């Protein structure tokens, strides 16, 4: 049950970032967008590890790394 809640939170965070960006309320270059995706992907990786779903781990690992790269770029610019 705990892993399901973690998965739901991860799903909610990524979909929230997508919805906010798609509705024009959040810019794709905004650190909030990347932070939501980074945290969401992390939660979904935890969920996927519990499921032993390699494909899901790889997919969210890529999502996490792309978000992390953008956050690092944002921090360096500051």
Please give the residue range of the domain that contains residue 13: 2-77
pLDDT digits (tens, 9 = 90+) for 7-59: 999 999 999 999 999 999 999 889 999 999 999 999 999 999 999 999 999 99
Q: Would you state the pLDDT for residue 76?
A: 93
Contact 59, 19 (CB under 8 A): no
Q: Would you state the pLDDT for residue 1?
A: 85
- For residue 78, pLDDT over 90 is answered with no
Q: Would you state the pLDDT for residue 45?
A: 98
Helix then strand then coil, in percent of the chain rounded to 5, is 85, 0, 15
Based on the structure, what is the number of domains in the chain?
A: 1
- The predicted model scores a pTM of 0.92
């Amino acid at each position: 049950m705990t892993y399901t809640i973690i998965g739901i939170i991860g799903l909610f965070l990524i979909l929230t970032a997508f919805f906010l960006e798609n509705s024009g309320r959040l810019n794709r270059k905004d650190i909030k967008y990347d932070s939501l995706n980074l945290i969401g992907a992390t939660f979904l990786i935890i969920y996927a590890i519990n499921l032993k779903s390699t494909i899901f781990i790889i997919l969210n690992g890529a999502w996490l790394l792309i978000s992390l790269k953008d956050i690092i770029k944002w921090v360096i610019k500051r």
